[in-house]
Amino acid sequence: MPVIQKRMVHKMNRFFHIINKKYPLSLMLKAIFKAQTTGVIMATLFLLASSSYVYAQREHGKEQIKYLTSITGYEGGIQFERPNDIFVDSYGDIFITDFYKEAVFIFDKDYLPVAKIDKANGLSGRPISVASNEDGTIFVSRGSGHILKFNIRGDAAGELKLSGVEGSESLIVKDINIDKDGNIYLACGTAGLVVLDKKASHIQTIQPEETKRDQQVKSNISRVSIGKDNKIYLLSEAFARIYVYDQQGNYITRFGSPGGTAGKLSRPQGIAADKNTGLAYVIDYMRHCFAVYNEEGKYLFDYGGQGTSPGWFNYPKGIFLNSDGILFVVDSFNKRIQVFKTSSSLNSPKIKGGV
């Protein structure tokens, strides 16, 4: 044994010898029990404080967000099984994909059933994303580069051909969005964001990157939303990050970081950008809530928590905000869509950001 190691062992033995003489075993066990009890008390106090903080955050959010109603299924007693995405067009029509039902359900602005798209209409496979343009054409992604098209009645209308997009056959399209000009935005994982014009001609590809182990890697883009001044918001679940670009594809900023506490994101799976206020609503899948950020990307508060009552969620997935400030949240494991009214007062200078 090296000399230095011998000296360390000797010092440790001497230390324990002195401790044992001064503090008998019974006293030491008592002290350990007391320390453990103190630890339990401290842990309990921490949990209570955390719960109080979550409650305070939720109470603050309740001032800004008001529950309206829930959509739980279609006519004929059809209940949602695993809804996973939502889109609302400029007319107020609501499009909901259900992964397990292998269908797209369409409702009008009053939440009344309009149409259903499934195997009978030519929808093969499980839909993961949906969007609709001003002409009433519905685009449905099943994950592959083959994006199916349907009319508003649900009749098949062919496929979306990706003109000028390299490797289009192998693209994994995770999300679809369409802006007021008819431009089509495809979130394609590590292939970034593919932007097409209304004739499906390629305009640009946006590819955010992150530093991982001192190397630049492509960020995996899972969701896209169009916000104020036509800013493009890209969500990466893998990096718990939101990237913001202008309409020309110029980088503006980024925000968000991984974690399991308020102000952090744990597997974010949806984003809705407010075209009026610049706010961003981000689904936190593992924490059963959505986080709200201001226009500068500063965290404001969380809304939600795990539960089944209105305003509570169970592994939420998609989220969409229409032009009237109505927020739709895909409450996936509760098998419903929750609908909320939001307030632009969140941007008031009186309301300070959080962490």
Q: Answer for the pair 252, 292: CB distance below 8 angstroms, yes or no.
A: no
pLDDT score of 352: 38
**216 C-beta neighbours (distance < 10 Å), count:** 8
Torsion angle in degrees (nearest 10) through CA of 99, 103, 108, 114: -160
11: exposed, middle or buried (Cβ count in 10 Å: 0-12, 13-18, 19+):
exposed
Torsion angle in degrees (nearest 10) through CA of 11, 16, 22, 25: 180
DSSP alpha helices (H): ranges in 146-271? none
Count CA atoms within 13 Å of residue 79 on its CB side: 6
pLDDT score of 262: 92
pLDDT score of 16: 45
Tell me the one-letter amino acid at 164: G
**Angle 180-69-81 (CA atoms, 0-180°, nearest 5)?**
85
Q: pLDDT 10s per residue in the chain (355 long)?
A: 554 444 554 545 554 444 454 445 445 445 444 545 555 445 444 444 444 444 555 555 667 899 999 999 999 999 999 999 999 999 999 999 999 999 999 999 999 999 999 999 999 889 999 999 999 999 999 977 689 999 988 999 999 988 778 777 788 899 999 999 999 999 999 999 999 999 999 999 999 999 988 899 999 999 999 999 999 999 999 999 999 999 999 999 999 999 999 999 999 999 999 999 999 999 999 999 999 999 999 999 999 999 999 999 999 999 999 989 999 999 999 999 999 999 753 444 443 333 2
pTM (2 d.p.): 0.81
- Which sign, positive or negative, has the C-alpha torsion 4, 9, 10, 11? positive
What gap in Å lies between CA 174 and CA 346, rounded to an integer?
30
53: exposed, middle or buried (Cβ count in 10 Å: 0-12, 13-18, 19+):
middle
Contacting residues for 128 by C-beta, under 8 A, at least 6 apart? 84, 85, 97, 99, 141, 142, 143, 174, 175
pLDDT score of 62: 60
**277 C-beta neighbours (distance < 10 Å), count:** 19
